[in-house]
Homo-oligomer: A and B are copies of this chain.
Amino acid sequence: MADDSQIRIGVLSCTNIVRKVSRAINLAPNATVAAIASISNSIEEMKSFAASNNFPPTAKIHGSYESLLEDPDVDAVYFPIPASLHVDWAVRAAQKGKHILLDKPVALSVYEFDQIVEACEANGIQFMDGTQWIHNPRTAKIKEFLTDPASFGQLKTVQSCFSFAANENFLKKDIRVKPGLDGLGALGDAGWYTIQASLLANSFRLPKTVTALPGHVLNDAGIVLSCGALLDWEEGVTATIYCSFLANVTMEITAIGTKGTLRVHDFVIPFQETEASFTTSTTDCLSEHKTMNEIPQEACMVIEFARLVGEIKSRGAKPDGFWLSFSRKTQVIVDAVKESLDNNLERVLVSGR
């Protein structure tokens, strides 16, 4: 049985990312895996998956997503399903009173995502997207540096990229290159991280305009395999992002302020699981910073999500709206890059969206 103070999380599907996140739930003292449902695995396969991933023996096996959403012993649901299914299942989950941990991209468009927003707000649901690096203690330290007027000054530009060289199998079969599934390709996947890095560096303000850059690569079905974009805050403050399934693994943030520079070389997944580093420099000083995290960043994410759900469940707190808003802004920029790509790289006005 779950400890009463633990948030009971149901997970969907038996994919690799569920292995990682269920391990994180196991590591989080305030959460437990309460149930699993898969539509492409038999009950036997799910049982074996649960056992091999150390689910608690109390974890229930559901033959359908509907059944898991009806389960009164599930407080929240982790959704690592294709983006094309998000709006439908997230809205249903919210209507059933389940809190939501949703993988990125959170939807195929802001239009879709706003239906999730509405359902969450109407039902008092805590929402969070499943981006893990934001919860690494290193990120808090990075934010501290970027918002310190004495050492960083005012942001001028932030350049981030996330690429990895996908193998042939991925490029043929992964859901991230299929129009009917995660139709946003590298932009909704790797690009999501770079957009959030740009927002983080700009105190989560939306840029005024977004422009896709020449040189993008699409597959035969029109899915983005590689692209770049320029975000413009219109006061001489810009960000460039680059995301690709076709280039060696690189996870870089370079943020330049009037007084300081930040460099991170492994922002998405730190080279080591329990420590992470970044460098800062000013005109006369280059410093290496290291942060330790006893548990991996994905468990930090689960702890924060479960903490917020716990506040709602046990104290009647309101959901923390930051996470919905952060995901929405990210999706607004994803949409704008897509719109620019679809319209001959025209500049897209996003302020007010």
Do A256 and B161 form a contact, CB below 8 Å, given A230-B228, A244-B156, A248-B282?
yes
Contacts of A347 in B (CB 8 A): 214, 345
Do A242 and B211 touch across chains, with their CB atoms under 8 A apart?
Answer: no
Instruction: Let me know if A215 is at the binding interface, CB within 8 A.
Output: yes
Please tell me which one of the listed residues B153, B215, B238 contacts residue A232 in the complex, with CB atoms under 8 A apart. B215
Q: Which of A61-69, A174-182, A258-266, A329-337 contacts B (4 or more CB under 8 A)?
A: A258-266
Instruction: Let me know if A249 is at the binding interface, CB within 8 A.
Output: yes
Contacts of A252 in B (CB 8 A): 254, 263
Instruction: Let me know if A38 is at the binding interface, CB within 8 A.
Output: no
* Chain A residues touching B, majority SS: strand
Nearest chain B CB to A16's CB is how many angstroms away?
A: 17
Contacts of A233 in B (CB 8 A): 215
Contacts of A157 in B (CB 8 A): 161, 163, 215, 228, 242, 244, 247
Do A236 and B246 touch across chains, with their CB atoms under 8 A apart?
Answer: yes
A228 to B161, CA, bound (A): 16
- 7 interchain residue pairs of minimum CB distance: A215-B238, A156-B247, A214-B232, A217-B236, A215-B232, A247-B256, A250-B261
Contacts of A156 in B (CB 8 A): 163, 226, 244, 246-248
Can you name 25 A-B pairs with beta carbons within 8 Å? A156-B226, A157-B215, A163-B256, A209-B214, A211-B213, A211-B214, A213-B230, A214-B238, A214-B347, A217-B236, A226-B236, A236-B246, A240-B240, A246-B258, A247-B256, A248-B258, A248-B259, A248-B260, A248-B282, A249-B283, A250-B256, A250-B261, A250-B281, A252-B263, A271-B286
Do A257 and B261 form a contact, CB below 8 Å, given A159-B161, A215-B234, A230-B215?
no
